[in-house]
């Protein structure tokens, strides 16, 4: 089983739609969780951290389910500019970040 | 604030040739990372430095890859000799500290390597 698994997509959604991505991780000792965004031919950039209580940043909501070992990212009111690859990232404290393969999102006008 | 700088941005070589990449982290960042990102995959850590010491190089193919950060600032990653499967984007990242708590990593633009 891969350490971090994501549905590669692509998810093709119309502007204004709500879309959700899930990610599962295999290491139960994992402590920190993140979503990174990577635009085509660009470097990854931190989108948001994922906290146990769940957290929201504008149109983006991240949730963590430790019991089931999955993380989710919800994007409401999708914009064209949200088109990118979303990388799920997991770490066990001071161990290296482990990236998923990413989920590709295309928001269509 | 200047970001992580990398050069060259693109490199095309033939298999069995050697290649070197350079990275200059954000000023004051003690920790530097080299990642390999193959098309369609997430970045995979190759090596992590804290100042001029290696913290983790467990996924570095040491028979052909080497990296150094002699003065604890900029770093070079070398591949010798290159194989076709080394074609990838090589990303450098830096963070302020590396400890038991997470510190955000900032990535450079990467070097896109094509091995023919």
Residue A107 has a pLDDT of: 98
CA nearest to A87 within chain B: B42
Q: Report CB contact under 8 Å: A91, B98.
A: no
Distance from the A84 Cα atom to the nearest Cα atom in chain B, whole angstroms: 13
- Three-state SS string over A36-87 comes to EEECCCCCEEEEEEECCCCEEECCEEEEEECCCCEEEEEECCCCHHHCEEEE
Mean pLDDT confidence for B71-92: 96
Encode pLDDT of A44-67 as tens digits: 999 999 988 889 999 999 999 999
Mean pLDDT confidence for A70-98: 92
């Amino acid at each position: 089983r891969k350490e971090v698994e994501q549905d590669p997509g692509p998810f093709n959604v119309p502007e204004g739609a709500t879309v959700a991505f899930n990610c599962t991780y295999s290491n139960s000792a994992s402590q920190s969780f993140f979503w990174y965004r990577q635009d085509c031919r660009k470097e990854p950039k931190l989108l948001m951290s994922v906290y146990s209580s769940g957290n929201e940043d504008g149109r983006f909501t991240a949730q963590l389910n430790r019991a089931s070992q999955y993380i989710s990212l919800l994007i409401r009111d999708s914009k064209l500019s949200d088109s990118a690859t979303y990388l799920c990232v997991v770490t066990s404290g001071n161990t290296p970040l482990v990236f998923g393969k990413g989920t590709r999102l295309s928001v269509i006008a | 604030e200047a970001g992580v700088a990398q050069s060259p941005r693109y490199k095309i070589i033939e298999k069995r040739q050697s290649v070197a990449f350079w990275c200059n982290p954000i000023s004051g960042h003690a920790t530097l990372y080299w990642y390999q990102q193959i098309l369609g995959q997430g970045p995979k850590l190759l090596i992590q430095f804290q100042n001029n010491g290696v913290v983790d190089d467990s996924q570095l193919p040491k028979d052909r890859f080497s990296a150094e950060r002699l003065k604890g600032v900029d770093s070079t990653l070398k591949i010798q000799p290159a194989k076709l499967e080394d074609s990838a984007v090589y990303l450098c990242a830096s963070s302020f500290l590396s400890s038991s708590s997470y510190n955000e990593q900032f990535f450079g633009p990467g070097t896109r390597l094509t091995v023919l």
